[in-house]
Amino acid sequence: AIPTHGLGAGVGAVEGVVMEIIITFALVYTVYATAVDPKKGSLGTIAPIAIGFIVGANILAAGPFSGGSMNPARSFGPAVASGDFTDNWIYWVGPLIGGGLAGLIYGNVYMSPTEHIPL
C-alpha cells in the first residue's frame, strides 16, 4: 500500500486548506527569517535547527487533521503512484497560498525593497 495524504475524520476541505495555509506559512516564514534575510546576522547559524523544529511541529500539529504536507510535491508523488487523487487539490491550494502569503508579508513588511540583494 502506498501512503497518501488524506483528511482526518470530521475534517472538511475548507479546514484542510486552512490548516495547510497556516503550516506552510509558518515554514516559509521561518525559512525567510533564519536563512534568507540578509540582515539576519548570526541568527542564520540556527536556520537548520529552526527549520527542522518548525517542520516537526507542523507535522505534529497538522498530521491528524490534514497530514501536514506543506509541499504539493510531497502529496502529488504518492497520489500519482497510488492513482488516488481524492482531495489532492487541498495539498496544492493550501501550500501555494500559505507560501505566497509568507513571501509577500516577509518581503514587504520586514524587508524594504531597498534591502533586497540583487540576483
Residue 101 belongs to a domain with what CATH number?
A: 1.20.1080.10
Worst-scoring range by mean pLDDT, 45-59, 71-85, 89-103? 71-85
Number of domains the chain contains: 1
Query: pLDDT per residue over 10-41, tens digit each?
Result: 999 999 999 999 999 999 999 999 988 877 77
Please return the burial class of 56, using the count of CB atoms within 10 Å of its CB with bins 0-12, 13-18 and 19+: exposed
In-domain check, residue 74: yes
Q: Does a structural domain hold residue 19?
A: yes
pLDDT for the residue numbered 5? 76
Q: Is 12 left (phi over 0), alpha (psi -120 to 50) or beta?
A: beta
pTM: 0.88
For residue 66 the three cell numbers come to 490534514
| In-domain check, residue 27 | yes
